[in-house]
């Protein structure tokens, strides 16, 4: 099924309208409980394997903000500070999706076009052969954006009888440089796809989180812009938003003086793999810069047409339950995915008396997060820089941050109550 542009300006501006209305409410109402949030960070650092934690939170209008940190930034015990940049991991998929959708609104690509329209055969031929049937030519840009391609994950999936690439790297297999051609060779020759390509615009479609999808989107961006990804990000997102402490590892520098990035950990092992991190186009940023980027995105500042933003949140599809080792590390139910953006809310059965409102944004495998909660009109970002801490953003961060805000603001009308019905249906619908 073709991915249709949002038909009316009214529908296309629902997300931006919700941000505007939340801004107006936040100016008068939202209080951020800094003491309680600092206690949360200290609690996180006390958990096994977590060396530091950082959290930045702001109202959508920026009038109220809080930044906190706990633990040690580096192995030498230097205290963690809110101004120290960290690896954002797959939070950068928000940026990749943004650039792809800018190309879409400029009519430089079609979300329904096959990958072969933009990429050479060595990246697209026979990458999705299942049951003897080659589905490779059916995979479109829309499939990649929405994680409905069914492709194998070159980073997380295990070949038969072997270990995944991420396992080999973390377990001491040595650093390496990885090209797009090498990644797709692994997908083609060593791994098996999970399901045939699905309809990106159906809420019933199968969806499986897959780094291969966004590796291919990066290749498309570089092919159409004829420049490396970091230059595109700097021009279209980082510089316009004023993200002075954000940079791409090994290939760019932050625009403003910035401390050394925090150490990334895998249990007791400090991760020092610069070659693979550069190959993965790794971005380092601060909580403040991260919040600024999501505020700009949701406020409609990064697109020429507000309808483009609506595509990111138009069709939420729920991830399935993890049935293999790779899926255990990836987002799963009840997390949902649109086109480059996650939505998460605990089902009412888990919180029947005090429901947790939904958030939208993205997370990364090193337990980084960047979320917006329309109900309270707040954005929050942070990390614990620990690859083994898994579902921490969903099990701990989102519930406890939002519960703390709820408790600090009892007695006033919820920001969510000021949103239009259309906006609620778009970004705040029950899960």
> What is the per-residue pLDDT across 91-120, written as a single tens digit (0 to 9) for each?
999 999 999 999 999 999 999 999 999 999
Q: Residue 412: give its domain's CATH number.
A: 3.40.710.10
Position 334 in a domain:
no
Q: What share of the chain is helix, strand, coil (3-state, %, to 5)?
A: 40, 15, 45
Question: Would you say residue 273 has pLDDT above 90?
Answer: yes
Question: Would you say residue 424 has pLDDT above 50?
Answer: no
Q: Which two tokens stand for residue 342?
A: 């996650």
- Please state, in angstroms and rounded to a whole number, the distance separating the CA atoms of residues 185 and 181: 6
Question: Would you say residue 14 has pLDDT above 80?
Answer: no
When pLDDT is averaged across residues 303-328 and rounded to a whole number, the result is: 86
Beta 247-248 vs 342-344: how paired, if at all? unpaired
Position 302 in a domain:
yes
- Return the bridge partners of 59, or none: 378
Position 212 in a domain:
yes
DSSP string, 111-131: TTSBGGGTS-HHHHTTS-EET
When pLDDT is averaged across residues 69-90 and rounded to a whole number, the result is: 97
Position 219 in a domain:
yes
What's the confidence (pLDDT) of residue 47?
82
Position 301 in a domain:
yes
Reported as half-sphere exposure (CB side, CA atoms, 13 A), residue 399 has a value of 12
Q: In 51-164, which residue ranges form alpha helices assigned H by DSSP? A: 93-105, 121-124, 141-146
Band of pLDDT at residue 1, cut at 50, 70 and 90: low
Q: What is the DSSP letter of 79?
A: B
19-54 in b/e burial notation, b at 16+ Cβ within 10 A?
bbbbbebbeebbebbeeebeebbeebbeeeebbbbb
- Please state, in angstroms and rounded to a whole number, the distance separating the CA atoms of residues 271 and 172: 10
Band of pLDDT at residue 24, cut at 50, 70 and 90: low
- Please state, in angstroms and rounded to a whole number, the distance separating the CA atoms of residues 293 and 88: 13
Q: Which two tokens stand for residue 386?
A: 């620990």
Band of pLDDT at residue 420, cut at 50, 70 and 90: very low
Task: Let me know: does 294 contact 372? Beta carbons within 8 Å.
Answer: yes
When pLDDT is averaged across residues 295-303 and rounded to a whole number, the result is: 96
**Domain with 401 in it:** 9-327+354-427
Total domains in the fold of the chain: 1
| Cβ neighbours of residue 56 closer than 8 Å, sequence gap 6 or more | 65, 66, 67, 68, 82, 286, 287, 288, 290, 291, 380, 381, 382
Task: Let me know: does 14 contact 310? Beta carbons within 8 Å.
Answer: yes
Position 297 in a domain:
yes
Band of pLDDT at residue 340, cut at 50, 70 and 90: very high
Q: Which two tokens stand for residue 173?
A: 């297999």
- Please state, in angstroms and rounded to a whole number, the distance separating the CA atoms of residues 339 and 309: 10
- Return the bridge partners of 344, or none: 359
| Cβ neighbours of residue 248 closer than 8 Å, sequence gap 6 or more | 229, 230, 233, 281, 282, 283, 284
E strands, 162-275, are 247-248, 265-266, 269-270
From its phi and psi, is residue 224 left (phi > 0), alpha (psi between -120 and 50) or beta? alpha
Question: Would you say residue 418 has pLDDT above 50?
Answer: no
Position 393 in a domain:
yes
Task: Let me know: does 337 contact 93? Beta carbons within 8 Å.
Answer: no
Position 296 in a domain:
yes
Long-range contacts of 138-141 (CB under 8 A, 24+ apart): 138/114, 138/196, 138/197, 139/114, 139/115, 139/197, 140/111, 140/112, 140/113, 140/114, 140/115, 140/197, 140/200, 141/100, 141/104, 141/109, 141/110, 141/111, 141/112, 141/113, 141/115, 141/217, 141/220
Query: What average pLDDT does the structure give for the chain?
Result: 89
Burial of 310 per CB tally in 10 Å (0-12, 13-18, 19+) = buried
- Please state, in angstroms and rounded to a whole number, the distance separating the CA atoms of residues 250 and 269: 22
- Return the bridge partners of 379, or none: 58, 372
Within a 10 A sphere around the Cβ of 423, how many other Cβ atoms?
Answer: 22
What's the confidence (pLDDT) of residue 18?
59
């Amino acid at each position: 099924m073709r991915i249709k542009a949002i038909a009316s300006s009214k529908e296309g501006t629902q997300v931006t309208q919700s941000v505007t209305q939340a801004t107006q409410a936040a100016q008068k109402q939202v209080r951020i409980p800094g003491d309680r949030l600092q206690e949360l960070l200290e609690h996180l650092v006390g958990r096994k394997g977590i060396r530091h934690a950082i959290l930045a939170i702001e109202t959508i209008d920026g009038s109220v903000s809080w930044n906190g940190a706990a633990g040690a930034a580096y192995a030498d015990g230097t205290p963690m500070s809110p101004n120290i940049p960290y690896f954002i991991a797959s939070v950068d998929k928000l940026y990749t999706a943004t650039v792809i959708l800018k190309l879409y609104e400029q009519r430089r690509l079609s979300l329904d076009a096959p990958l072969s329209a933009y990429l050479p055969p060595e990246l697209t031929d026979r990458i999705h052969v299942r049951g003897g049937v080659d589905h490779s030519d059916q995979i479109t840009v829309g499939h990649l954006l929405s994680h409905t391609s069914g492709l194998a994950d070159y980073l997380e999936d295990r070949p038969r009888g072997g270990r995944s690439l991420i396992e080999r790297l973390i377990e001491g297999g040595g650093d390496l440089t990885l090209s797009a051609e090498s990644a797709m060779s692994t997908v083609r020759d060593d791994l098996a796809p999970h399901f045939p390509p699905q309809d990106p615009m159906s809420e019933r479609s199968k969806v499986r989180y897959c780094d291969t999808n966004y590796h291919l989107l990066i290749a498309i961006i570089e092919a159409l812009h004829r420049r490396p990804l970091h230059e595109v990000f700097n021009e279209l997102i980082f510089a316009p938003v004023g993200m002075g402490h954000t940079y791409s590892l090994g290939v760019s520098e932050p625009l403003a003086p910035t401390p050394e990035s925090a150490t990334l950990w895998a249990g007791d092992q400090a991760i020092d793999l610069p070659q693979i991190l550069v190959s993965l186009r790794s971005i380092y940023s601060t909580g403040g810069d991260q919040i600024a980027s999501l505020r700009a995105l949701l406020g409609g500042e990064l697109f020429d047409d507000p309808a483009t933003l609506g595509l990111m949140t138009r069709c939420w599809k729920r991830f399935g339950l993890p049935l293999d080792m790779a899926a255990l590390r990836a987002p799963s139910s009840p997390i949902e995915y649109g086109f480059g953006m996650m939505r998460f809310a605990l089902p009412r059965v888990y919180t029947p008396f005090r429901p947790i409102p939904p958030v939208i944004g993205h997370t990364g495998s090193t337990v980084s997060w960047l979320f917006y909660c329309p109900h309270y009109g707040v954005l929050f970002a942070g990390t614990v820089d620990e690859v083994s801490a898994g579902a921490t953003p969903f099990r701990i961060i989102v519930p406890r941050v939002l519960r703390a805000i709820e408790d600090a603001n009892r007695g006033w009308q919820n920001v969510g109550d000021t949103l239009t019905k259309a906006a609620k249906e778009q970004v705040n619908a029950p899960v």
